[in-house]
Amino acid sequence: MFILDAPPEATFSRLRWSGHAQRRDCRYALQLYAERPGAAPVAIKNVRANRRCPSPDRAQTSSWPRPRAYDLGGATRIVQRVVCVGAPPAHPYCSARGQNYIRTFSAEATVVDGTAPSAAVLVDSPLARGEWVSGTQTFAYEASDNVGVRNAHAKVAGVARGNHSRQCTYSQRIPCPNGRGEIEVETGRVSEGSQPLTVSVEDAAGNIAESAPVTARIDNAAPGVVTVGLAGGETWRNRNWVLLL
């Protein structure tokens, strides 16, 4: 048996599948189906036990070499299995002398996810703590989702000012990672003064959410020219003197 569960709070909408089925003992059932909460299962392939049996000592085979699409209608689990049903009451058992299997060549499941991710700016850097900063600054964030987070954007005063793309592997049940990340912000491109800083994250299905704001304070301007003078004028002297600013 092989079981593929949808990620938490997500469902399967479609399966593209190709494969091959074979049995030497007709008392085995070869099945590929999808389970739906509160509804009947979706039968994809179902070679029933004790039905359309081949001649003795001959294998029964069927092959689907090209992928076909199947509508799963909100299924949460895909099951592929071989089950010994037997032929009661005379033969309540199966034989293991021959090969009885259902094999997958290729499979691609489409996952439907409407759950938004969550994100927060971590207040552990000068930029996120609201200290006056300049130049290039880095801050950390925390993000999580039922299918993982694939992208994060830093927003200063509502404008995207930095990006972090996370590595995703779509052959996995939860393709994108959760947890901590870091974004670099070039403050020279941002208006000076106190600004709201947020992080906007996107999950593997394209759902987007934005964190609560923290205050960032940015100052990239150098101070003005200071005029310097001497009390009593610029003359030679042999005692302490006062510098005027």
Mean pLDDT score, 205-232: 85
How many structural domains are present in the chain?
2
From 80, 113, 146, the end of a domain falls on: 113
In the block, tokens 């927060």 appear at: 120
- Residues 114-148: pLDDT tens digits? 999 999 999 999 999 999 999 999 999 999 999 99
Please provide the size of the chain in residues: 245
What is the pLDDT confidence band of residue 236, given thresholds at 50, 70 and 90?
confident
Whether residue 11 is found in the same domain as residue 36: yes
Whether residue 104 is found in the same domain as residue 144: no
In whole angstroms, give the CA distance from residue 218 to residue 172.
41
In whole angstroms, give the CA distance from residue 184 to residue 161.
8
Whether residue 189 is found in the same domain as residue 133: yes
User: What's the confidence (pLDDT) of residue 145?
Assistant: 97
Helices assigned H by DSSP within 20-155? 126-129
pTM as predicted: 0.78
The answer as to whether 237 is a domain residue is no
Pairing of strands 60-75, 10-23: antiparallel
Mean of per-residue pLDDT scores for the chain: 92
Domain of 123, in residue numbers? 118-218
